[in-house]
Structure 1
Amino acid sequence: MTSELNTLFRKRIGISENEKITFETLDQILEKTAYSIPFENLSIMTNNTTEVTKENLINKMLVKNEGGLCYELNSLLYFFLIENGFSVVLVRGVVYDHVAQKWPTLGRTHVAILLTYEEQKYLVDTGFGGNLPLTLVPLNGKMVQTANGEFRIKKEDSDHGNYLLEMKLKYKDTDWRIGYAFDSTRPINDVSEFNEIQKTLIEKEQSPFNKHPLITRLTSSGNITLTNSTFTQWKNGHVTKEQIDDKTFRKLAKQHFGIE
């Protein structure tokens, strides 16, 4: 019997209910998820957040067809992967602040997934905005390449974890740069732990997600990003940016992201 989550997730990303998902087809799942479910902070901006539970995540992203932040997007994907027979845990980490050129002091507010297959571990992430690897990144350091760029994982112990995700985004980076650090030694199986992350992102001054609305998702030719003042499109390496007002924001949110 297929569960509600399994049925609705497949419907949301556009795959049939009876298609068997294998290790080999996970890349397609990650691509479809990235193109279908946006990274966005509107519930924080409208003071409309709910407790982080499996039921609330299903309701938010699969019933109401909204998007979410890393702890929501990756928790939902984690439940979907479990339902489809994969061995996965959630992990926490810290995203590097390239503007300030330092690690932020918010704590481990990034959430990603670790998947184990045939004794090899892989990082899986669908909650990293426009920086998504769109594939599984092996923890053994081997570089992977997708439509969004090149990605690799480096073993490095720090206060923020024991591994780094490094990336070279297509059209954007000429050199490798740090995406985030994560900790594989503290696997998480209970998403209620992420209520603390949500609280931090709502309340803390340093939070990047409580200042203005942000919606972004990858497309087959790049990505699109909408804030309350700008709409930015990357298409095959070319970027266009237009200034917008509130009315246009609402129109574009519906048109490009399906968000009312």
Structure 2
Amino acid sequence: MKKLHSLFHKRIGMPENETITFEKLADVLERTAQTIPFENLTIIENKTRDITRENLINKMLENNEGGLCYELNPLFYFYLIENGFNAALATGVVYNHAAQNYTKLGRTHVTILIRHEEQTYLIDTGFGSNLPLKPVPLSGETIVSYNGEFRIKKVNTEHGDYVLEMRLKHKDTNWKIGYAFDSRKSITNMQNLYEIQTIIKEHPVSSFNKNPLMTRLTEKGNITLTNTTFTQWADGMVSKETIDEAKFKELAKHHFGM
């Protein structure tokens, strides 16, 4: 097996030589969500690097760090390609629920589209705790995972031709927009990912260049760590703890291996 495949399986706790089929993707996605955190420490610490296949492998599979969408989903894209899937990277615009509008950062969300048996699916490993954990068909069918319900609606707006909608378990009673994306435009140049990283790193309205953030799913919910709070969701119950810098470092190492 290739280097990325073996290292990826080692990181998420799967047999290194196991062949991955479409039917096994849900298991891989769950393991990935529970193992590789969504986090922004390289931005906060001003240690960003060029977005290349080798740098992504080094960061997340050899150094056991996490990343943001423009790192997590490209890494998973390369994993899919190595396992024979017909995959492409696409960009999206995240919906800001506080402002009731799409974010001013523009097309800075990176996601994955795959073709399987004449149907297109969305896969996302880089949307914080809002992960479908299964391929979501663009046909509009609702998929259900332990994280909630997810579906894709066909639209025609300046932000793209589809919208991912979600209803997170224990959190949402109504459907809400995750992000809009364009299935007609795929990322063909890794330079595009570097440009997205630059916007997220430097733009004044970016939420990822202010304070450290780490989050990942757990078997019962999710955990989120910032420099001031540690929040745990478990079986629908939430607990939130105020922390200091020393506690932040302790929790980052214990829960995220960082």
Aligned equivalents of 2:85, 2:154: Cα separation in 1: 24
Aligned equivalents of 2:206, 2:17: Cα separation in 1: 41
Give unpaired runs (5+ residues) of structure 1.
none
Aligned equivalents of 2:188, 2:13: Cα separation in 1: 27
> Which residue of structure 2 aligns with residue 67 of structure 1?
66
Within a 5 Å distance, the mapping from 1:60-209 to structure 2 comes to 60-209=59-208
Instruction: Choose 226-235 or 185-194, whichever is displaced more.
Output: 185-194
Aligned equivalents of 1:59, 1:210: Cα separation in 2: 22
Aligned equivalents of 2:116, 2:226: Cα separation in 1: 38
Query: Which residue identity does 1:44 align to in structure 2?
Result: I
> Which residue of structure 2 aligns with residue 229 of structure 1?
228
Is the Cα–Cα contact under 8 Å of residues 38 and 216 in structure 2 kept in the other structure? yes
Is the Cα–Cα contact under 8 Å of residues 6 and 17 in structure 2 kept in the other structure? no
Is the Cα–Cα contact under 8 Å of residues 75 and 191 in structure 1 kept in the other structure? no
> Per-residue deviation at 1:233?
0.1
Aligned equivalents of 1:188, 1:204: Cα separation in 2: 21
> Per-residue deviation at 1:17?
1.4
| TM-score for the superposition, normalised by structure 2 | 0.99
Aligned equivalents of 2:225, 2:172: Cα separation in 1: 21
Is the Cα–Cα contact under 8 Å of residues 160 and 181 in structure 2 kept in the other structure? yes
Matching of residue 49 in structure 1 with residue 48 in structure 2: yes
Give unpaired runs (5+ residues) of structure 2.
none
Is the Cα–Cα contact under 8 Å of residues 221 and 236 in structure 1 kept in the other structure? yes
Is the Cα–Cα contact under 8 Å of residues 151 and 167 in structure 1 kept in the other structure? yes
Is the Cα–Cα contact under 8 Å of residues 125 and 133 in structure 1 kept in the other structure? yes
Aligned equivalents of 1:20, 1:5: Cα separation in 2: 13
Is the Cα–Cα contact under 8 Å of residues 224 and 232 in structure 1 kept in the other structure? yes
> Per-residue deviation at 1:159?
1.1
Moved segments of 4+, more than 2 Å: 189-192
> Per-residue deviation at 1:7?
1.1
Matched residues, number: 258
What are the Cα deviations for residues 207-245 of structure 1, in whole angstroms up to 9, with x where unaligned?
Answer: 010010000000010000000000000000000000000
